[in-house]
Amino acid sequence: MRDRPFHIVLGVTGGIAAYKAPEILRQLQQHGAEVRVVLTRTATRFIGRVTLEALSRHPVVVEMFEPGLNVAIRHVEMAQWADLLLVAPATAHTLARFAQGLADDFLTTLYLSVRCPVLVAPAMDAEMWEHAATQENLTRLHERGVALIPPERGYLASGREGEGRLAEPEQIVARALVILAARPYARDLEGEHVLITAGPTCEDLDPIRYLTNRSTGKMGYALAHAALARGAEVTLISGPTTLRPPPDAQTIFVRRAEEMYRAVLAHLEAATVVIKAAAVADYRPAIFSPEKLKKTDADLTLALHRTPDILAEVGRRKGTRVLVGFAAETEAHLEHGREKLIRKNLDLILINDAASAETGFAADENAGFLVDREGNVTELPRMSKYEMAMRILDRVRDVLARRRSEDPTGDPRSSEGEG
């Protein structure tokens, strides 16, 4: 049980959707949170600070330096106080300043100072939302662990219809509560060494062509960010991806399944937890052509050889480590996932729908079923991959605690036995 309410800083930026900020604030309070508000200068043109001060029962901060608010270094004090920084609405300009690390007002300075989770709810016109610069800024923020409530499609301030409308307050508050649910367990993986694989592998046919899959590495990278946030040491073994790895992780880049296999076994001894989120190619071309294969009028028959089964090999060697796998299925999801859990000697498996455009490969969100060895099934609704990473790590923590209570002298890094 918590001994105090959650502390939330609500950042409000300058867009017409700022009128929804009081409702967001009230709903957070109804869930027991204590809320402080930060307005940008432009936001004060859309929403009055007196209203937000009356509702929050705290002074609303706008300027970096205001008379009567400088006894403490205000942004440092608020950063240490906060359990969550929620920015709703977040304009394209604010997202750009966050992504570039600018600190030219109180909100951006606060963003650079907080060590708590950050959740942004963008709102803007459709063209601004779809612009490549905005999407690049969102990608950069996502890689840093910033959670996103994407805007909805609807009528916009311009009078046109499109994607860019602020998500409803109920959705924003629900997502904030999911993120906050992990906060009582901050640093609960301190002392653990988590080995994570991420991304696809590429199996070369010739210097031009290769076999691969649709994995982008987003889930594995989210797990790396989340494990670091919870105090773990992280080794990330990544296939080819455009994502930036977290700077505090030891990252090893590989290309082929064979390279990932060798890297995993080389770093297995130090790990207490192994999470195999990579989508490893099951087959490779039997022959690599050093020259580009030329097109002819005849059909081409491609011979394939099996690649090493990394997950099965780790399952054989795992000892008392916690081993987590993933099953991307297109039909009979639970049946196939449960069978894989037993066959590969896993402790947990996340089963999801690979065919879903909203939560499948390359999506920013995920959903699925988390199944353990006892057959317990937990349905995980659609959420950001960072939030899902937190939910998976909650269960990893529980398995570690139970295993150590059963054998207090056991070394998770022991490779003896099947686990």
Q: Residue 327: what residue type?
A: A
Q: Is pLDDT at 261 greater than 50 in this prediction?
A: yes
Provide the pLDDT for residue 68.
59
Residue (of 64, 68, 88) closest to 8 by Cα position: 88
Question: What's the CATH code, domain 7-181?
Answer: 3.40.50.1950
Provide the pLDDT for residue 416.
45
∠ Cα 342 343 349 (to 5°): 55
Provide the pLDDT for residue 70.
53
Provide the pLDDT for residue 71.
45
Residue 411: pLDDT band with limits 50, 70, 90: low
Q: Is pLDDT at 333 greater than 90 in this prediction?
A: no
d(CA 380, CA 353): 12
Using a pLDDT cut of 70, give the percent of the chain over it.
92
d(CA 393, CA 47): 39
Average pLDDT over the chain reads 88
Residue (of 117, 113, 111) closest to 97 by Cα position: 111
Residue 182: pLDDT band with limits 50, 70, 90: low
Q: Dihedrals φ, ψ of 382, to 5°?
A: -60, 125
Q: CATH 3.40.50.1950 spans which residues of the chain?
A: 7-181
Question: What's the CATH code, domain 187-406?
Answer: 3.40.50.10300
How large is the average pLDDT for residues 51-70?
83
- Cβ contact 21:40 at 8 Å: no
- Is the CA virtual torsion 161, 166, 170, 174 positive or negative? positive
Predicted structure pTM score: 0.65
d(CA 273, CA 192): 7
Tokens of 149: 């409530």
Q: Give the burial class of 221: count Cβ atoms within 10 A of its Cβ; 0-12 exposed, 13-18 middle, 19 or more buried.
A: buried
Neighbours of 192 (CB within 10 A): 21
Residue (of 155, 201, 147) closest to 177 by Cα position: 147
Tokens of 167: 């998500």
- Cβ contact 38:9 at 8 Å: yes
Residue (of 240, 251, 142, 145) closest to 195 by Cα position: 251
> Which of the residues 70, 137, 213, 352 is marked catalytic?
213
The conformation of residue 42, written as its DSSP 8-state character, comes to G
Residue (of 222, 252, 224) closest to 384 by Cα position: 222
Q: CATH 3.40.50.10300 spans which residues of the chain?
A: 187-406
Provide the pLDDT for residue 78.
92
Q: Is pLDDT at 178 greater than 90 in this prediction?
A: no
Place of tokens 């699925």: 368
Which has the minimum average pLDDT: 21-35, 59-73, 158-172, 389-403?
59-73
Catalytic residue at 366?
Answer: no
The conformation of residue 93, written as its DSSP 8-state character, comes to H
d(CA 26, CA 373): 42
Neighbours of 165 (CB within 10 A): 22
Render pLDDT for 148-172 as a digit per residue (tens, 0 to 9).
999 988 877 777 778 889 999 988 9
